[in-house]
Amino acid sequence: MPRVGSETPAPSSSSSMASTIKAYSVPLALFVAAMFYQLFVIPKSFPVSHYDVLGIKRYSSIADAKEAYEKISSKWNSGNEVPSTDDFIKIQYAYEFLTNPSWKSNYDIFGIDEHIHVIDRVKGKYAGESFSKIKLPLLDATVSVPEDVSLKVITHKDFESILKDTRPSLIQVFSFGSKRCAQFLAVWKRIVFLLDGVANTGSVELGDLQLAAYFAEKKPTGQPFFRNGLPSLVAFPPDCKTADCVIRFDGELSVDAVTDWFSTTILSLPRILYYSRDTLVPKFLSKSSPHKDSYVCNSPPPTLAVNVPCLVTII
């Protein structure tokens, strides 16, 4: 005789399905969240490129940029589309920027765009105005660094010979198409003059891609970049022969700031403070008894690189 209740009933198909769904619900939710983050959140965290503004692929040619702009502007001219002032400025800027060979190359390889502030400036100037009121072109492409022979642009071979020298080196990375570099030229020449005989100096043009990339920092993606744009100053301390030990200057691009940094940070020389006639009294003389000492303020030798020229002599 069969025994009643001796067998365990098989689980129903519905409860089995529920268990399966429950087991995979958390991994599935995490997968969906990750896909959403990758497809929608991450792209929005990156700034829109000038290529995106024109609706073309990254690194498209100058001809492609011109063609895209002509298609957009033809719609404006026909009256089919009336752009907002902000959209017009961004599109016009992207067109002018990407059709300049030097600017485009620097942007594609090193991510450099030193004119980006123009967009906000023009937006503020023409706020509330029709796009037809905007004066074109937005960018001035005529300013560039003169190809001065005294600039001492070095090649890869020149750099190899510099590294063989035991003296420290100061290298400027610049671009002939950069307005900031053109403004810095006179300052750089003065720095080179003051460091003559003390350190090796040289300039690397951004068009020398291999050498310029050597002096650049690297993003996680591997793209070379210059954190503070151009010009960029890189120093090799004594006995430093590789990019691993270079020191980058991130201060004010002035003769005093650069020479002071190089003297104290690279050469490890002590800083000697000098006072001007205006700061001498509150900083020094006011702390002394006026009836005991007399002071004469003398200018230092013209070859001495100091921030404020004034020496104090106690009589």
State pLDDT tens for residues 52-92.
Answer: 999 999 999 999 999 999 999 999 998 889 999 999 999 99
**Pair (94, 159) in one structural domain:** no
- CATH number of the domain bearing residue 247: 3.40.30.10
**Pair (157, 260) in one structural domain:** yes
Residue predicted with more confidence, 9 or 234: 234
How many domains does the chain fold into? 3
Flag whether 6 is in a domain.
no
pLDDT digits (tens, 9 = 90+) for 176-199: 889 999 999 999 999 999 999 999
**Pair (189, 282) in one structural domain:** no
Contact (CB, 8 A) for 51 and 57: yes
pTM flag (> 0.75): no
**Pair (262, 153) in one structural domain:** yes
**Pair (159, 204) in one structural domain:** yes
Average pLDDT estimate for 88-100: 97
Whole-angstrom distance, CA of residue 225 vs CA of residue 106? 10
**Pair (258, 281) in one structural domain:** no
**Pair (258, 153) in one structural domain:** yes
**Pair (160, 253) in one structural domain:** yes
Flag whether 11 is in a domain.
no
3-class secondary structure, 67: helix
How does residue 303 score in pLDDT terms, banded at 50, 70 and 90? very low
CB atoms within 10 A of CB 274: 17
**Pair (232, 309) in one structural domain:** no
Q: Which domain range does residue 168 map to?
A: 149-266
**Pair (260, 287) in one structural domain:** no
Secondary structure element (H or E) that encloses residue 63, with its range: helix 62-78
Q: In the chain, count H helices and then E strands.
A: 12, 8
- CATH number of the domain bearing residue 63: 1.10.287.110
